Amino acid sequence: MKLSNAISVAAFGFAGGIFRDLLSTALDVKGVLIANLLGCFLLAFLTYYVIERDLLAGWLNAGLGTGLVGAFTTFSSFSTTTIKLALHSLTSAGLYLLLSMGCGLVMAGLGMLLARHLGRMVDHHA
């Protein structure tokens, strides 16, 4: 790994972790869900618009995708939130799982569709 990528991932990861903490502290379970769904959208958009079109330097792509979005959305937060809900209600935990997975796929799909649409618009006007 290049040093510039490592520094970018660390710096953006720091910011992403803080953003996730702010959301989860303010909104508890809803904050974790919002962070994960927003992250699905953002990573798909970054992948299919910014990275695929080579709009930014590689170190910035690594920082934004792996660092910022990766720290903003963590599987550990998703897992511990699911367990926390299951201890109180299996129905709530199941609903959270379904919302996270189903809506996460939808958000990633929307991010990809928006990225592709914007790409066609830019290409058409160029």
> Annotated binding site for Na(+), which residues?
70, 73
Measured between alpha carbons, how far is 65 from 73 in angstroms, rounded to an integer?
11
Q: Which two tokens stand for residue 46?
A: 């970054």
Amino acid at site 55: L
CA angle 40, 99, 39 (to 5 degrees): 15
Q: Which residues are annotated as a binding site?
A: 70, 73
Answer whether 10's CB lies under 8 Å from 66's CB.
Answer: no
In the three-class reduction of DSSP (H, G, I as helix; E, B as strand; rest coil), residue 36 is classed as helix
In the three-class reduction of DSSP (H, G, I as helix; E, B as strand; rest coil), residue 53 is classed as coil
